[in-house]
Amino acid sequence: MALGTDKETTTMKCIRVPSPRRRRSALVLLAAAATLLLSGCKGGDLVSYELPEKSAPYTFETETNGVKTVWRYSSAKATKDDTSTLSPCIGELVGSNQAACRPEPLIFLRYDFGLALDNTVRAGEAHEVTVVGYYQERLSDLPEVTSLKAETSFDGGSTWRPAPSKATGENTFTTTIRNPRRDQAPAGVGLRIRATDSQGNTVTQTIPVAYTLR
């Protein structure tokens, strides 16, 4: 559509109206962008990958402040959006990529160490630690964490020994650690957790010092 005279023509530019899902995500995207900028993360710091059509196994490893996490999971190219409005696609955040996306089925772990006010645990006694598995929010049904194995170390990770664990709720497990004398674990107690879900995805997280003894 054009408006004007013989000497000058002004063209009316058509603008695509975003879908209801995109519009609902606008404020979330702005907040996420502000968070990235405040943290010093720029568009060039973010890396994305195109997955093949067929499902394949993947391994993803991270290490932060000495805590090492290894995820092993299966994934394939997303054919439709499977994210909530509170978790927008990263392509919407940093560019114009409108491809379908979803969170990967990574199991995250949350701990309740039951620490005293000085962040210690009494030596020479059995101590319970609660571990909860969870996932990034998405629209489809989430897997269920079906098993959890725990190991402890009293010598800085040189040796590990199994600790009994049991399911105590949905995606929730309790492991019992038999703390040694303080002089037998002077640097503290290390914890290694391996969780598996109903789709066969796993996470192994190693915490060199989960807590110290008093």
Bridge-based pairing state of the strands 126-134 and 172-178 = antiparallel
Q: Is the pLDDT of residue 59 over 70?
A: yes
Q: Which amino acid is at 115?
A: L
pLDDT in tens, 168-213: 999 999 999 999 999 999 999 999 999 999 999 999 999 999 999 9
Burial class of residue 150 (count of CB atoms within 10 Å of its CB; 0-12, 13-18, 19+): buried
Pick the range with the lowest mean pLDDT from 7-11, 36-40, 169-173: 7-11
Q: Is the pTM of this model over 0.85?
A: no
Q: Chain-wide mean pLDDT for the chain?
A: 80
- Would you state the pLDDT for residue 19? 44
Distances (CA, A) of 184 to 3, 118, 121, 179, 213: 85, 20, 14, 9, 10
